[in-house]
Each structure stands twice: as C-alpha cells, then as structure tokens.
Amino acid sequence: MISSCSLTSELLLSFYGKGAKECPSPNERIKLVFSKSKQFDLIELEQLLQSVGWSRRPLRRVRRALDNSLLKVGLWRHDEKFPRLVGFARCTGDGVLEATVWDVAVHPVYQGYGLGKELMVYVMDSLSTMNIERVTLFADPGVISFYKRQGWELEPNGRRCSFWYAN
C-alpha cells in the first residue's frame, strides 16, 4: 500500500531545497523525499551505490563528476536530524539538447515498492522543466524491462547502435 503525501511545502523547501517533492511511501511511518539540491555526503552516496553491487570509486573523482553533472537527484528517507539517502540518479548533458541518465539506484531494502519508477518520473520531470529535447541511458541487461515498462525504447532496433571506448 502506498501512502499519500503529508510533509508541508515549507518543510520540503527548508530541508530539501527548491523543487523537492514528497515521494509516495510504502509505509505511512516512513516519509520519502526527492531533492535535486540537497548536498550529498559522498561516503553515504558511495555506500548506497555499493549496496546495489557497484564498485567503489575514488571520492575526489566522484565529487568532480557530481559537480559536472547537469542534475543530481537524491531520494531521502526523511528525518529532521538524520535524513538517509535511499535512492539516487544523476544526468550529464549539454543542458539544451541532450541528457544522459546515470547511476540510477534504489537501496535494496527499499526496492520493489515502486520507488525506482517514481525516481525516474522525478528525473524526467526535472529534465523536462529544463526543456531538454532528448534523454538517453545505458541499461544493464538485467534492468532493460524496468525501463521498457516506463516507455523507454531499446536501441539499436536496426536504426542506431552505441559505441564505447575505454579511455
């Protein structure tokens, strides 16, 4: 059961910044909030990404990558003293024509309740506010259907394919 929202707009603004939005929660005692301006604790962020099986990265490089990103979204479990980061996504891009979504993750304890889908809706709404024309992402084989269910089209489909080159 997903509970409705109950945090005031004043609280959202003061704790989580402009554009913050409450996320429907699977448990009425747990309040969840999307923010694109609340600062991340890098260690907490890396712990979240490691919890979904991704390897550790040097924090200084992560900081620079975040600084250079177009959009960074945190999904926070609200607590006035110790809000916890339970989901994350970021986008790179030129800010006008193209954006690419990276590092979409929901902590394993919070997976399977529709939060990943809500996270993507918040990311896409935020990019839409910026008038970005086209959004791309690279999906691991295990999550292709997660994106397909949300309307993403799988390439190449005979029309285009991607190349990558490890630098």
Ligand X SMILES: CC(C)(COP(=O)(O)OP(=O)(O)OC[C@H]1O[C@@H](n2cnc3c(N)ncnc32)[C@H](O)[C@@H]1OP(=O)(O)O)[C@@H](O)C(=O)NCCC(=O)NCCS
Q: Can residue 50 be called a binding residue for ligand X (CB under 6 A)?
A: no
CB of 87 to ligand X, least distance (A): 7
Q: Can residue 95 be called a binding residue for ligand X (CB under 6 A)?
A: no
Please state, in angstroms and rounded to a whole number, the distance separating the CA atoms of residues 50 and 113. 20
The CA-based diameter of the chain, rounded to the nearest angstrom, is: 52
Nearer to ligand X, 11 or 135 (CB): 135
Q: Can residue 74 be called a binding residue for ligand X (CB under 6 A)?
A: no
Interface of this chain with ligand X, residues 118 to 157, rule: CB under 6 A: 139-140, 142-143, 145-146, 149
Find the binder of ligand X among 117, 133, 134, 154 (CB under 6 A): 117
Query: Kind of pairing, strands 32-35 and 21-23?
Result: antiparallel
Q: Can residue 105 be called a binding residue for ligand X (CB under 6 A)?
A: yes
Residue 137 tokens read as: 């992402």
Q: Can residue 80 be called a binding residue for ligand X (CB under 6 A)?
A: no
Please state, in angstroms and rounded to a whole number, the distance separating the CA atoms of residues 104 and 68. 17
Residue 105, CA distances (Å) to 47, 112, 129, 137 in order: 11, 12, 22, 13
Please state, in angstroms and rounded to a whole number, the distance separating the CA atoms of residues 7 and 32. 9
Find the binder of ligand X among 73, 115, 123, 127 (CB under 6 A): 115
Is 147 a residue of the active site? yes
The site for ligand X, by CB under 6 A, has a size of 18
Q: Can residue 93 be called a binding residue for ligand X (CB under 6 A)?
A: no
